[in-house]
A and B are shown apart, each in its own frame.
Chain A
Amino acid sequence: MVDQVLSSVLGNFLSPAILAFILGALAGFLKSDLEIPEAIAKGLSIYLMFAIGLKGGASLAASQVGIEVLPVFVAAFALSFFIPFVAFYLLKLTTRLSRENMGGVAAHYGSVSIVTYVTATEFLKTSGIGFEAYMVAVVALMETPAIISGLMLAQGKGAGNAASGKEGKSKINKDLMREILFNGSIVLLLGGFAIGWVTGPDGLDKVSGLFVDPFQGVLCLFLLDMGLVASHRIRASRALSLPVVVFGLYMPVIGAGLGMISGFIVGLSAGGIALLAILSASASYIAVPAAMRLALPKADPGLYIPLSLGITFPFNIVIGIPLYTGLVLALVG
């Protein structure tokens, strides 16, 4: 079992995408002038999200699914909602962060990172492990519940009223709801998924020259940029203390464990369990930061973004993905 996990981790290390991420991180730490223009990085991520939605939808159209997806969706929703409570408790136990900061960080860990998911699906594909086509919908489902529970935790019982001005108190208003429900990544992911589902494998065939074949290459460039961004954020960060950094390393493993147990209970395939574990392990750095800035301006983005983007994201894509997958295969495969 240890052999299996170890070779899985080493094999992942030598994929072009992971090496590109490491290259980006190195360039950032070495203060290279390498820079991917923000508009291009945004373009790459639009491509990735639309493509992953499209492919998921097309393969769903080609497969038979019925009522068995319901327990999976319920489990995914519950994971996203309840992981922040675990995270909040652990932060309370090990750090001296303010209540707002703990709630903000907790929300990130309940929500998911789409790029981590994309990297994981490529890893599974390369390893020849199949998974359920509807997992893309699970990604979209897990993005939001954590935002609600994170805000609940940050507010606590009657806390936050004392010093708050008009905008000081965290609250769910129109801007926030729009940010949560219709943020670009959700629209692309679910929109691509719907288009893929409606048009099926034939539809995907027509656009596969753009959306399937170059996918791995685009992922490389995107991860190169992620490496750069992550290292810039780490370098600029002043808020990360040791207990917080350590939290960024063990929290994904705890999340993965909860994901694995849930995936096993609801009867997913080995690949599906691995993906649910990875989703539970991953921390958001796109949708949740935006929502937290609007709803919880007192929580420090200089804390939660470097933590999720600079610590947990690299840990998950370099070590986490093969580690969780290897564990799942060793246990159920």
Chain B
Amino acid sequence: MTEEFRIYKKKKIEIVVEALFSSRVLTALEEAGAKGHSLVPNLRGRGAHGLRRGAGLSAAFDNVMIICLVDESLATKIMAAARDAIGDGVGIIYASDVEVLRDEHF
């Protein structure tokens, strides 16, 4: 292990949200201070709103997952921003502890 190798504690926020609301959520995350995100498209699953999968061209049943690693101090603010952006839409939001390298990215 080299001398510079260090790990930093962060929060991983994952948001499963209907595809149509994703741009709203991403804007909210950015405004709340998140510096980046990954988006996984075309999710499939089942939950409070029944079967969720793409229905032909219509994005109305499509879910995506947004993954966002942030500093612990920002986590609650960002989760609240995501909740407000989803409003009456379909979505779940949760966070977990992770460890990252390269602290300057987050």
Query: A residues touching B (Cβ–Cβ < 8 Å)?
Result: 38, 41-42, 45, 165-168, 175, 179, 184-185, 225-226, 229, 232-233, 236, 238, 285-286, 289-290, 292-294, 297-298, 301-302, 305, 309
Contacts and interface: CB of A to CB of B under 8 A. Distances in A.
Interface of B: 18, 20-21, 23-24, 42, 49-51, 53-61, 84-89
Contact of A165 (B49, B54, B87): B87
Contacts of A185: 57
Given A175-B23, A293-B89, A301 B56 contact: no
A226 B60 CA distance: 15
Given A293-B18, A293-B20, A298 B88 contact: yes
Contacts of B18: 293
8 contacts: A42-B57, A168-B87, A185-B57, A233-B55, A290-B59, A290-B60, A305-B55, A309-B56
Contact of B20 (A294, A302, A305): A294
Contacts of B61: 301, 305
A297 B57 contact: no
Contact of A286 (B49, B51, B58): B58
A229 B20 contact: no
A300 to B, nearest CB: 9
Contacts of A238: 50
B50 A41 contact: no
Contacts of B85: 167
A45 B57 contact: yes
Contacts of A179: 20
Given A229-B55, A286-B58, 18 more contacts: A38-B42, A179-B20, A185-B57, A225-B56, A232-B53, A238-B50, A285-B58, A286-B56, A290-B59, A290-B60, A292-B60, A293-B18, A293-B20, A293-B59, A293-B60, A297-B87, A305-B61, A309-B58
